[in-house]
Amino acid sequence: MTSIWAIGLNFKNAPVEYREILACNKEDLKNLLPLLKTINGVEEVCILSTCNRVEIYGLFDSEEAVKELIHTFLDFKGAKKDISKYFFAIKDKKAVFHIFKVASSLDSMVIGEPQIVHQFKEAFFIAKEIGTSGKILNRLFEKALKASKRIRTETKIARNAVSVSYVSVELAKRIFGDLKKARVLLVGAGEMGELAANYLKRIGANLLITNRTYERAMKLAQKLEGSALRFEDMEDYISDMDIVIVSTGAQSYVITEKLIRKAMKKRDYKPMFIIDISVPRNVEPSVGKIDEVFLYNIDDLREIVEMNMKDRLKEASKGEILLWDEVKKFFEWLESLKVEPLVLELKKKLAPIEKREPYVRKIVHRAIKEMKKNPDIAGTIYKILVEEVEDVNGRKELSYVHSGVNGVGS
């Protein structure tokens, strides 16, 4: 019996060294998907490949087809057969729920992250373009994306930041409100500091970058569309800054209490937000005691991240309830497909009568709606409707003949 399947591996059931072996780029998919489609019992197939998962979704008619598909996939990637022990394989409602959950980012490593929606769409478009998806998968993916939108609309799954870099930006917003034209100094070239600076730049902040190696500061300034500052000149400019992000590999304090006290006096104690993402810390802790200075270190930020993640997990539970509702609707549509041949036959059989009797069209429309809603009794509805309409039509024709014989209407 043909069923919808979801098979593959992800960050929950397989280490990264196996996921990276099976990861597929666009060129791989263009060659692999048509190959998988040739397997006996594989009717429709699509592959979602991201850094956290390599999963195959499709319409397969047996477990043998699934085993052959996994075997062919591993062969194509030149992978050892024992990797198959990491594969999960689920079907029917569990598979559809999983697919909806993935598309809604409820199954992501970072719950609520938005990147998966784009990756999901791309996987769908590739399969559709190549021609390995059909009526069922196309509908499934469309409904998965609709479910994803519903989750984001009806829950707060993406409301609170869950990355250290983004949390720092959210905190800055609470202090300054509108961050457009805020003056930001990035000290160092650490990855998290760069991400935070990039977020701020995108919302219109003015960015100044300094590093012990001036060439690195210039390179990063060019990348982030900011300006470079020589490290030895930092003391002269820091009083002009609203936000200071420190992300260096230094083993001692780069930003001292003495430096910030002098800067705050110079800026008339207007608020300054300092984010120390360095390990070990590069900002002297006593800086946080200075009036109107808001100092957050990596642990402060991670604590907020963890609180936000707990909030997202609560929202994820609500989201799963909504997803099961979407799964139910999808399977109602799937069941309705079983009566399509009967619906087409009904339309064909009653088409001539519909042309003569407009009221029949309304009856047929209501009957089709009921047949799709209750596939189990579709045959009975079909039989009764055809007999009734043909009987009524026959009586009308006899009435017309009888009237003609008696001279009525002549």
The catalytic residues are 51
Cα distances (Å, whole numbers) of residue 274 to 116, 186, 347 = 32, 10, 72
- Please state, in angstroms and rounded to a whole number, the distance separating the CA atoms of residues 255 and 127: 53
Distance, CA of 281 to chain centre? 35
- Please state, in angstroms and rounded to a whole number, the distance separating the CA atoms of residues 89 and 95: 8
Nearest in space to 120 (alpha carbons), one of 31, 27, 57:
57
The dihedral built from the CA positions of residue 295, 214, 184 and 291, taken in this order, carries a sign that is positive
395, with CB counted inside 10 A (0-12, 13-18, 19+), is exposed
Tokens 């000290």 appear where? 187
Nearest in space to 217 (alpha carbons), one of 207, 203, 205:
207
Q: At what angle do helices 378-405 and 340-356 cross, to 10 degrees?
A: 20
